[in-house]
Amino acid sequence: MSKRIMVYLMVMGLLVVILYNRQYKRKQFVESFSILQNVTMRPIDGMDPLRIKDVDSAHAVSKIYEGLYEWSYLERPFKLVPNLAEGMPIISTDGLIYTFKVKKGILFQDDACFPNGKGRELKAADVVFSLKRVMDPKNAAPYVDFFNGKIQGLDVWRDTSLDYEQAVEGLKALDDYTLQVTLTQPWSIFLDLLAHNTCYIVPKEAVIYYGSEFLNHPVGTGPFMLQNGFNPQEKKLEFIRNPNFREKLFPSEAAPQYQHMLAYAGRKLPLVDKVITYVFEEEQPRFLKIQNAEIDIDRVDTSAFVLSMVKDGKLLPEFESKGLVFYQEAGSSTEFFTFNHNHDLFKNLYLRQAMSLAFDRDTYNQLFYNGVAEVAHSLVPLALLDPSEPVKNPYAYDVKRARDYLTQAGYPDGKGLPVITLDVRSETAEKNKADFFAKCMAQIGIQIQVITNTWPELCNKIFTKHATMMHALTWHVDYPEASSCLELVSNKNLGGLQYENTEFNKLYSKAKIINERETRCLVYTNLSQATAEEVPMICAVHRPIQFLHHKWIKNFVYSGYNYGLDQYIAVDMKEKNQFSSR
């Protein structure tokens, strides 16, 4: 063999080794850099946490921002645990003064709003600033009514000053790491609300630096950062791991059904390097992309396509063979069709009761949830009420009674009753549900005109213009207590009911200051039954939680209260890449 050939073979061999090493290292990187791809059905409503009023947007901001507390990921019953707080607060014997310690060493993400672009340490003063923002009218916080009259001096500050440098008697940073809050009266859900996105902590520098654009430039302490800011027109949001994120570990306590997930206990969060969230308002793209593994996980309990994929609570074999997993558990949300009580028509109690009697909830459940939802007897899921005093819907489906009540309302067989418009979201499943509701009403002579809207359009009609006659919504429980639902009845703006019941509000206000949980629960149960009698809205079902995800998604558990769940999810990239290379 000539020297030239030997040199040629040696060079070629060396090139093969180099290329192999590059390919091997690339494969190692691809399998070690984990990406979670999920989807939302609705446009994200900006990135200012206190302005958020829907679950999809709450999940988005919870990747970036955090509160003093959060709901445990794996423990059941749900348990409130410290997040940015060092521990649970010290509470005075009269239940009015709460003293919190803020964890040391927590950094905001790097951002141009800070000197030299370096994120600074979180301080107790940031909590004071963030809670003041909730009460500032220009922020139009959807949950502001929860806080009205609750913290000493904060209402006076809102009404007379709005100077963020001015001290508030009941809201003090005693030092860099100590916060003291003084309430006007005992408030049973105060700590629960500190885990809600309304009370997530934001830095003053970012609010000042970005001004009106702050909702597009989130700056938080959470596990992820949003790449390239927020653009409401974009159909893809990319969140990357926050290098400043503290050492927060996967939990070591779990309910029996989640014990197998403790294999991740003690691992540093987040478990993925990047989260990509796609916005698909149409169902068909989601249906195709989850099958083609272009997305890893999708919530499907409001989607029509899942009905063709699942039978008797199990995924059909043709979809299971594609590596899909069907996740389902009882939910704590309530679907309802509500009246806008600004219309004099709906001040007619007999009319509201007649419409409730005409609505066939059992068939609705079969058609849209294969019978696995819980038929709603009231606005509040039964799991949040006193089991010794079960609430019963006094106006369940009964067409004959419905016709009788409609006659008592002054509209026999619907004669003289104007057409009632029903505004709903434009997704296929929501339109189908509204059409079914209209069909039920037609049985007794009530004509319903269904109007479809994009989610922003519907929000504008309901919450800004109060322009609907009826509208359909789903209320998601924000914390595991009945008051999270009953607040809809008490607060006329929260769900767009515009409903006022002085006697209910008086009893509800008294119930909220009862410290003993069991006693409070019994009062809430009685109020829930009283609400069912009044029919301020027509409740349909407490729908189940349903997800489709691929097998490479590990330790996924859905919590209706902890919106920061993406930090706990792991993705087996090796398994995912093997599937993609088929």
DSSP 408-454: HTT-GGGTTPPPEEEEEESSHHHHHHHHHHHHHHHTTT--EEEEEE-
C-alpha–C-alpha distance, residues 204 and 426, integer Å: 38
What is the 8-class DSSP label of residue 388?
T
Phi and psi (nearest 5°) for 339? -90, 145
Query: Which residues neighbour 379 within 8 Å (Cβ) at sequence distance 6 or greater?
Result: 334, 336, 475, 485, 486, 488, 489, 528, 531, 537, 539
C-alpha–C-alpha distance, residues 282 and 7, integer Å: 61
Whether residue 270 has a cis bond before it, omega within 30° of 0: yes
pLDDT at residue 330 in the model? 85
Which residues lie across from 39 on neighbouring strands?
278
Instruction: Find the Cα–Cα–Cα–Cα dihedral 127, 132, 133, 139, rounded to 10°.
Output: 160
109 within 8 A of 93, measured Cβ to Cβ: no
Closest CA to 108 of 41, 205, 208, 199: 205
C-alpha–C-alpha distance, residues 541 and 239, integer Å: 34
C-alpha–C-alpha distance, residues 300 and 371, integer Å: 15
Q: What is the amino acid identity at position 248? A: K
How much is the pTM? 0.89
C-alpha–C-alpha distance, residues 315 and 506, integer Å: 48
37-269 — its CATH code? 3.40.190.10
Which residues lie across from 335 on neighbouring strands?
474
DSSP assignment of 272-311:
-SEEEEEE--SHHHHHHHHHTTSSSEEE-TT-GGGGGTEE
Q: Can you give the residue ranges of every domain in the chain?
A: 37-269, 331-544
Give the residues of the chain that fall short of pLDDT 50.
23-30
Q: What is the amino acid identity at position 217? A: H
C-alpha–C-alpha distance, residues 518 and 309, integer Å: 41
Burial of 299 (0-12, 13-18, 19+ CB in 10 A): buried
pLDDT at residue 10 in the model? 67
C-alpha–C-alpha distance, residues 284 and 331, integer Å: 25
C-alpha–C-alpha distance, residues 510 and 518, integer Å: 15
C-alpha–C-alpha distance, residues 268 and 276, integer Å: 20
Closest CA to 466 of 312, 340, 322: 340
555 within 8 A of 567, measured Cβ to Cβ: no
- Tokens found for residue 380: 């509040």
38 within 8 A of 239, measured Cβ to Cβ: no
End-to-end CA distance of the chain: 43
Q: What is the greatest pairwise CA distance in the chain?
A: 109
What is the 8-class DSSP label of residue 268?
B
Convert 498-522 into a string of H (helix), E (strand) and C (coil). CCCCHHHHHHHHHHCCCCCHHHHHH
pLDDT at residue 16 in the model? 55
DSSP assignment of 516-557:
-HHHHHHHHHHHHHHHHHH-SEEE-EEPPEEEEEETTEES--
- Tokens found for residue 226: 């949003």
C-alpha–C-alpha distance, residues 513 and 397, integer Å: 36
Arch. (CATH architecture) of 331-544: Roll (3.10)
| Dihedral over Cα of 375, 378, 384, 385: its sign | negative
217 within 8 A of 47, measured Cβ to Cβ: yes
b (16+ CB within 10 A) / e for 35-55: bbbbbbbbbbbbbbbbbbbbb
What is the 8-class DSSP label of residue 13?
H
Residues belonging to the chain: 582
